[in-house]
Chain A
Amino acid sequence: MSLSREEIVAELVKICGPDAVVTDKEVLEESTYDRFRKYEGYHKVFVNPLPAAVVFVENKKQVSEILRFCNANGVNVVPRTGHSATEGGLEPIVENSIILDGSKMKKIINVDTYNMQVTCECGVVLEDLENHVRELGYTTGHSPQSKPIAQMGGLVATRSIGQFSTLYGGIEDMLAGVEAVFPDGTICNIKAVPRRSAGPDIRHVVLGNEGALCFITEVTVKLFKYFPQYHVCMGYTLDDMITGLRIMHDVMTEGYRPSVARLYDAEDGKEHFSHFAPGKCVILFVTEGPEKISKANAEGIREIVAKYKECTEVDSKLIETWFANLNWDAARIEEERKEVLQTKNVCCTTEISANWSAVEEIYKICKEKVINEIPDITVFGAHASHCYSNGINLYFVYWYNVVDCAPEEEIYKYHLPIKKIICEETIKAGGSMCHHHGVGKHRVHWIDKEHGSALYMVKKLKAAFDPNGIMNIGTILPYKK
């Protein structure tokens, strides 16, 4: 028999003390959604059941005790740190869940500049960590747009990636060691070593688990020397997105490694660059690192771009200023809330990845289908922001007016049908339907097609580590009642 809300709260209070357990209605309501259902949330419409409580843990012992309790009693646990997830990963979709919030675990434990690693708790805000190491002349190299808000636990749990990934890699390249707690209360510490061959790389059980297997309590990430004085910013305008993709391909396959390689089509670019590139695509690169490397990369990239006569270089100050204002903080989210409520115009995104040979077709067909099949679109565009030798991502950005539609219907009328087109076309073309935001609860519909025969492995991991199915029900794998 399942526990009542009061019984769950009582046990959490016993483990963490009353100040750590929040049952305030407004806090519980705000905890039923993340950025995926922001339209509903801004309208104060809450479709998911209210969790029994939000519990702010302070150490791994509390995490272990709570998970053991929930595991024994069938209580769904939604792990959370920065609350900036975009795919519904933080939604409690069953009754009497708890939100296990690690944001109070915010100690930077050890900065080891000789071994080039930093260890911190899961609740450290990335921007705080980055500012801290920058004062010492280092960088984590990790800079997603959510940097001012996102915290380290969540960034690892979602396999996040940042703006400088083309040089520094995604979180999977940065994570040296990690500690996580599993549903039966076992605390596992994976030590930080440069590399090892001691069986499969178990960091990857934790990386990207989206709270469906464990709760991350501590991370160790690599450090890199920071040379802001050698940054080189280059920007170009051009007419055609496909040409831009070909330039990106050439840069990567020739072996150059900018930290930033970004390409915006004219529609997505409108929101950012209309003051100098109205109606144009924009391609931009940043190189960094030690002086000789940064300069050599910049020179090589310039040579490649010069072969494409349709590209016109722009003043680097335009690109630098744009970059300095790219990230989202709490103030910007509040500004968005107001704008959405007044204009009923919503912006959502779906990010995918594909090999070079597939990406052009995916871009064209998604654009065509969405514009033709979905009503009330105000903007449909894309940018490519993460490059690899064997392919690239596409970050589709779309805005629509919500017309004659209750807030709780918005995702069914617009957001999910758009995602369906993009995910299905991408998978059909051999790409991946989720590049870096995670599956969450709203791409589970296509998880079988995404993994194909390898879904067996994902299911086995879930069965092995969370046999009672209490970890973030409905995430990565669909919920079957």
Chain B
Amino acid sequence: MKILVCFKITADLDQLSQKDYIADTSMRIDTSFVKNMINCFDESGLEFGLRLSQEAESLNLYNEKSALTVGGDKTEIYLKTLNALKYDNAIRIDCDADITFNPKFTGEAIAEYVNKNKQDIIIMGCQAPEGNNFSTPQIVSNILNIPMVANVTDLHLVGENSVKATVESGGNVYEYTVKTPAIFVMGNAEVSKLQVPTLKDRMSFGKRDIKYFELNNCEYGENQSTLVSLEPIKRKRSGKIVSLQGKEAVKELYCEYLKERLDNI
């Protein structure tokens, strides 16, 4: 059984302040000065990749697990960590271009890899925080004609060709038993943190080669809908503060601000 987890390295946007969200002339926001991290939905996916592999082993099923990213040099240390966590293949599709708003390219790149390296289970996060495109898994699903299960919050192996996926939708929780090959798109899963490799594993496994996959068929090009502007959002309201505190503050709030509104409700 072959498991592929796709992940993206993003900037830790919590470290940016309001004034940093000014786009340059090519409509890009500079995030190069903040720490990077694995996109949180993909981090769930990577942890599930490890857990499904362990479940396969306990079912005496041969399995090969791979982790794939499309990105530049900043992905290297994460790929090394995934090697140290004993992913069989840590793969990078080199891309230095800005693909923040180009999920088409990412989807096509992943699909090209999978066409050459067939997979049974593909796991991807639903979106990443910079572009918020919410598109890549669907693009991969369409190109490969592999069905997709959306908003997954839990995954377990049932057998060699089937997986049980817990899905959140409309506030309800569903359980689907799904035939593989299939793509599982991670939503808000409880399991959201990746295991940590020991120093010894980093020495033994972390130094294995990272694999580089060269694209032949897909080129970085125009996305199908054109980005025409990026504007920072100013979310200011009147920002009034009641002058008193405690009981008196609540009295002031009611008399000066709320009474009429509440009368109209």
A contacts, CB < 8 Å to B:
270, 272, 274-276, 278, 315, 317-318, 321-322, 324-325, 338-339, 342-343, 345, 371, 376-380, 399, 401
Please, which residues of chain B bring their CB within 8 A of the CB of A275?
32-36, 74
Q: Give me 21 A-to-B residue pairs in the complex whose CB atoms sit less than 8 angstroms apart, sorted by A's number.
A: A270-B77, A274-B77, A275-B32, A275-B33, A275-B34, A275-B74, A276-B33, A315-B33, A322-B35, A324-B17, A342-B192, A342-B193, A343-B194, A343-B196, A345-B196, A376-B198, A377-B199, A378-B198, A380-B199, A401-B196, A401-B198
Please, which residues of chain B bring their CB within 8 A of the CB of A342?
191-193
Q: Give the contacting residue for B197; candidates A274, A322, A378; CB below 8 A.
A: A378
Question: A343 contacts B195, CB within 8 Å?
Answer: yes
The verdict on A321 contacting B192 (CB below 8 Å), with A278-B76, A376-B198, A377-B198 known, is no
Looking at A275, A278, A371, which has the most chain B CB atoms within 10 Å of its CB?
A: A275
The verdict on A339 contacting B193 (CB below 8 Å), with A275-B35, A321-B15 known, is yes
Question: A345 contacts B195, CB within 8 Å?
Answer: yes
CB distance from B67 to the nearest CB of A (A): 17
The verdict on A378 contacting B199 (CB below 8 Å), with A272-B35, A274-B36 known, is yes
Question: A338 contacts B193, CB within 8 Å?
Answer: yes
Residue of A nearest to B17 (CB): A324
Residue of B nearest to A315 (CB): B33
Q: Give the contacting residue for B193; candidates A321, A322, A343, A401; CB below 8 A.
A: A343
Residue of B nearest to A335 (CB): B193
Question: B199 contacts A379, CB within 8 Å?
Answer: yes
Interface string of B189-213 (1 = CB under 8 A from A): 0011111111110100000000000
Please, which residues of chain B bring their CB within 8 A of the CB of A343?
193-196
Q: Give the contacting residue for B34; candidates A270, A278, A321, A379; CB below 8 A.
A: A321
CB distance from B40 to the nearest CB of A (A): 11
Measured in the bound complex, the distance between the Cα atoms of B35 and A322 in whole Å is: 8
Residue of B nearest to A322 (CB): B35
Measured in the bound complex, the distance between the Cα atoms of B198 and A401 in whole Å is: 7
Measured in the bound complex, the distance between the Cα atoms of B193 and A343 in whole Å is: 6
Question: A371 contacts B33, CB within 8 Å?
Answer: no
Question: A325 contacts B195, CB within 8 Å?
Answer: no
Measured in the bound complex, the distance between the Cα atoms of B8 and A396 in whole Å is: 31
Interface string of B61-80 (1 = CB under 8 A from A): 00000000000001011000
Question: A321 contacts B33, CB within 8 Å?
Answer: yes
CB distance from B45 to the nearest CB of A (A): 14
Measured in the bound complex, the distance between the Cα atoms of B30 and A315 in whole Å is: 14
Question: B77 contacts A278, CB within 8 Å?
Answer: yes
Q: Which 6 A-B pairs have the closest CB atoms?
A: A345-B196, A342-B193, A378-B196, A317-B33, A325-B15, A275-B36
Residue of B nearest to A339 (CB): B193
Please, which residues of chain B bring their CB within 8 A of the CB of A270?
77
Interface string of B177-193 (1 = CB under 8 A from A): 00000000000000111
Measured in the bound complex, the distance between the Cα atoms of B11 and A318 in whole Å is: 13
Looking at B33, B191, B197, which has the most chain A CB atoms within 10 Å of its CB?
A: B33
Measured in the bound complex, the distance between the Cα atoms of B76 and A274 in whole Å is: 10
Measured in the bound complex, the distance between the Cα atoms of B54 and A192 in whole Å is: 64
CB distance from A331 to the nearest CB of B (A): 10
Please, which residues of chain A bring their CB within 8 A of the CB of B194?
343
Q: A275-B74, A338-B193, A377-B200 are in contact. List 12 more A-B contacts (CB 8 A).
A: A274-B36, A274-B77, A275-B34, A278-B77, A321-B33, A325-B15, A339-B193, A342-B191, A377-B198, A378-B199, A380-B199, A401-B198
Question: B33 contacts A318, CB within 8 Å?
Answer: yes
Q: Give the contacting residue for A324; candidates B15, B198, B200, B202; CB below 8 A.
A: B15
Residue of A nearest to B196 (CB): A345
CB distance from A277 to the nearest CB of B (A): 11
Measured in the bound complex, the distance between the Cα atoms of B196 and A343 in whole Å is: 7
Measured in the bound complex, the distance between the Cα atoms of B76 and A313 in whole Å is: 22
CB distance from A481 to the nearest CB of B (A): 39
Please, which residues of chain B bring their CB within 8 A of the CB of A377?
198-200
